[in-house]
């Protein structure tokens, strides 16, 4: 398995050719993985898939395996946030810790990447901005306790003394899940 291939992360203009064969692997809107109609639920397989996951400049998702790119079908985004926790470091600086469906690892939210997508679904960018992630409804409600209005139509996340505006779908075109990362 390749840990990081610069050809698939936008650091190099050349992209290895994508294997034209369909893998039969799909990720539904809720972040659940399937092979055909069979759910993929084994943690070690899912962790391998996430480790091999890449997003091409055209927005397609692939699994990079043994130097080849294998396309997968993704309904929205493979990353679904299931829980948020507010953590502080004693100096009144607050952060939001994200927990993901199917993954043991957690990640700190970059609040500057929040946006509201279609159907008022909240998104952010994860893994150093390379992938969009969708907040599940419970995670959104957890985060909502720190969201406040800026004016009639705009909202912001408050962390400590800072306010982070949340972009609306029309403003976040460059960050939406279907655009390239």
pTM for the whole structure: 0.81
Alpha-helical runs (H) found in the chain: 43-52, 137-144
**Are 98 and 133 spatial neighbours (Cβ–Cβ below 8 Å)?**
yes
What is the per-residue pLDDT across 14-24, written as a single tens digit (0 to 9) for each?
A: 455 666 667 88
Region class of 128: left (phi > 0), else alpha (psi between -120 and 50), else beta: left
Give me the pLDDT at residue 25, please.
95
Residues shown for the chain: 181
What is the per-residue pLDDT across 61-119, written as a single tens digit (0 to 9) for each?
A: 999 988 889 999 999 999 999 999 999 877 667 899 999 999 999 999 999 999 999 88
Rounded to whole angstroms, the Cα distance separating 175 from 131 reads 9
Domain covering 14-74: architecture: Roll (3.10)
Q: Can you read off the two tokens belonging to residue 131?
A: 């992938």
The three-class DSSP label of residue 19 is: coil
Domain positions in the chain are 14-74, 79-172
């Amino acid at each position: 398995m390749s840990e990081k291939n610069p050809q698939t992360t936008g650091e190099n203009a050349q992209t290895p050719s994508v294997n034209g064969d369909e893998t039969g692997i799909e990720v539904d809107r809720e972040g659940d993985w399937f092979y055909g109609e069979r759910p993929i639920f084994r943690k070690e397989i899912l962790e391998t898939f996430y480790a091999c996951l890449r997003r091409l400049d055209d927005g397609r998702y692939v699994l990079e395996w043994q130097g080849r790119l294998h396309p997968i079908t993704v309904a929205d985004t493979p990353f679904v946030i299931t829980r948020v926790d507010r953590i502080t470091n004693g100096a009144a600086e607050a952060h939001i810790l994200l927990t993901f469906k199917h993954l043991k690892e957690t990640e700190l939210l970059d609040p500057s990447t929040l946006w509201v997508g279609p159907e008022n679904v909240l998104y952010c960018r994860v893994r150093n901005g390379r992938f969009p992630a969708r907040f599940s409804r419970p995670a959104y409600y957890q985060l909502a306790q720190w969201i406040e209005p800026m004016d009639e139509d705009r909202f912001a996340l408050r962390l400590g003394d800072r306010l982070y505006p949340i972009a609306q779908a029309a403003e976040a075109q460059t960050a939406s899940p279907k655009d390239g990362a």
